[in-house]
Amino acid sequence: MRIDEIISQSEEPVFSFEFFPPASEEGERNLREAIEKLAPLEPSFVSITYGAGGSTRELTVELTRWIKHELGLEAMSHLTGYGATLDELRAVLGRISAAGIENVLALRGDPPRGQPDWTAENEAIHYASELIELIAQEYSFCVGAACYPEVHVEAIDLASEIRVLKAKAEAGAGFFITQLFFDNDVYFEFVDAARAAGVEQPIIPGLMPITSAEQIERMTALSGATMPKELVTQLELRANDPGTVLELGVAHAALQAADLLARGAPGIHFYTLNRSPSTRAILSALKVSRPWAR
């Protein structure tokens, strides 16, 4: 089923999980196990990222097919345009379509890690909006797109971020998923700015439960997400006790998600980093307490 239809037809918030295709066979076995463990929570959809390096790209389509047809969960393939020719993009889109997948998250992507000046020959896509347009014109997929409440690391300001959001909506994006963030007011201010600019598509907040100090340092550096001072203090207090960082991460993400849902967010997209226990605990608690129904 198309994700835009799932969102519009659902009376409850949509919950989704994001995984990345691992590079080793052992990693793939662990991933399949993690997804199977989350399946009983009946996510609205599960998404698989598209690797910047290239070696795991086939696995994106294969895992998405497995989730949809063998686990019976709705699935979405991510796709990046960076460095690809039109023929290459159409070949991947053809494989996603042949696998029976109805949803694609269309992204620009980034240069290969450690090569910020890398450029490709015959590159077809410079911005995600061009990929969204290509997909919307040539295929029947439901297309999703990324957005950045704290502004993309290369963007100048919120106004330019909102212009990009609007261009993606006009190109055919049916819904958006945000970059991770920790301050819910930033998300709601971003949604207000999007609505004021005439963007009506659902904007699903993306949350990443903190599992370790190193993980969150790496992810905030990559995404530009700022951490509230109080959260930094609590992490520092646990510098010598990694196990308690995980507990803090679960408790904090559960409270953040509950506040988002109570204030009207349409759902939560969990960046799982291929681990299931934190997400399982958070989503189970949300389903018990139902903050959106209060």
Ligand X SMILES: Cc1cc2nc3c(=O)[nH]c(=O)nc-3n(C[C@H](O)[C@H](O)[C@H](O)COP(=O)(O)OP(=O)(O)OC[C@H]3O[C@@H](n4cnc5c(N)ncnc54)[C@H](O)[C@@H]3O)c2cc1C
Binding site for ligand X (CB under 6 A): 49-50, 52, 78, 80, 105, 107-110, 127-129, 146, 152, 154-155, 160-161, 164, 167, 177, 179, 206
The minimum distance between CB 40 and ligand X, in angstroms, equals 24
Which one, 96 or 128, has the nearer CB to ligand X? 128
Phi, psi of 269 (to 5 degrees): -105, 120
Apex 190 CA angle, 189 and 192, nearest 5: 65
Residue 290 half-sphere exposure, CB side, CA atoms within 13 Å? 5
The minimum distance between CB 103 and ligand X, in angstroms, equals 13
Tell how far CA 43 is from the center of its chain.
14
Which one, 170 or 247, has the nearer CB to ligand X? 170
How many Å apart are CA 155 and CA 238, to the nearest integer?
Answer: 34
The alpha-carbon radius of gyration of the chain (Å, integer) is 18
Are the CB atoms for 272 and 34 separated by under 8 Å? yes
**Per the residue annotation, which of 18, 74, 102, 133 is the catalytic one?**
18
The minimum distance between CB 9 and ligand X, in angstroms, equals 22
Q: How many CB atoms lie within 10 A of CB 258?
A: 19
Which one, 271 or 292, has the nearer CB to ligand X? 271
The minimum distance between CB 179 and ligand X, in angstroms, equals 4
The minimum distance between CB 194 and ligand X, in angstroms, equals 14
Which one, 205 or 249, has the nearer CB to ligand X? 205
Are the CB atoms for 277 and 209 separated by under 8 Å? no
Max Cα distance, the chain (Å): 54
In sequence order, what E strands does 5-73 have?
14-19, 45-48
Phi, psi of 188 (to 5 degrees): -70, -35
12 is catalytic: no
Residue carrying the six token digits 């959001």: 165
The minimum distance between CB 208 and ligand X, in angstroms, equals 11
Which one, 142 or 246, has the nearer CB to ligand X? 142
Which one, 225 or 246, has the nearer CB to ligand X? 225
Q: Which residues contact 266 (CB under 8 A, 6 or more apart)?
A: 7, 13, 14, 202, 203, 204
| Residues identified as active-site | 18
